[in-house]
Amino acid sequence: MIDLSKGSRINLSKEAPGATKFTLGMGWDTRITDGASFDLDASALLLDTNEKPVGDTASLVFYSQLSSPCGGVESSGDNRTGEGEGDDETITVDLEKLNADVAKIILVVTIHEADARGQNFGMVNNAFVRVLKDGSNDPVARYDLSEDYSTETAVIFGEIYKKDDTWRFAAKGDGFAGGLAAFLTGYGLN
């Protein structure tokens, strides 16, 4: 397994030869606050080579749309507590089923109703994303987010993208305020 740091990139074809399906497991722990429960949500946005959404709003896979129209990206659904060990939510990417226009898949985790609940990623500990060859529990790579995101309500954990006809993974850790709405607005959606 490769331990990644922010900005690190790996070539999935090299690190997992022959693999065409990957599970991106994301997990976190939340601090105890004034009683408002946390609900973190993992989403995936499918983009083309021009960084534009593929298929408009259908390009977002999240708790209300568990699969992309092509079937190449699927969400495990909404885990509302984040309790327990291991992955809290997963996104599965099947490279063979992906729409041919997809060149990048951005993995973003947001805090549902963060502003109303007075929550941010500074209250989230042990956040990570791991890349698994589907069917395996041994990660190809793992990225532990270690920054203090005390004003951010959304964080891009990583990206799967195509470069030189091979698929790669980049550890991102880019946080921002405004949650999912701000993220989507940045890509002309919402």
Q: Domain map of the chain by residue range? A: 2-185
* pTM of the complete model beyond 0.75: yes
Mean pLDDT of 11-21: 95
Flag the least confident range among 75-89, 119-133, 150-164.
Answer: 75-89
Proportion of the chain in helix, strand, coil states, percent, rounded to 5: 10, 45, 45
User: What whole-number percentage of the chain has pLDDT above 90?
Assistant: 70
Main-chain dihedrals φ then ψ at residue 67, nearest 5 degrees: -145, 145
> Would you say 3 and 66 are in contact if contact means Cβ atoms under 8 Å apart?
no
Confidence (pLDDT) at 79 = 60
Confidence (pLDDT) at 22 = 97
Confidence (pLDDT) at 34 = 64
Confidence (pLDDT) at 37 = 81
Question: What is the pLDDT confidence band of residue 161, given thresholds at 50, 70 and 90?
Answer: very high
- What is the greatest pairwise CA distance in the chain? 49
Q: What is the pLDDT of residues 78-121, one digit of tens each?
A: 665 545 567 889 999 999 999 999 999 999 999 999 988 889 99
The two tokens of residue 126 are 């042990």
Mean pLDDT of 139-157: 93
Report which secondary-structure segment, H or E, holds 13: helix 12-15
* CATH architecture assignment, domain 2-185: Sandwich (2.60)
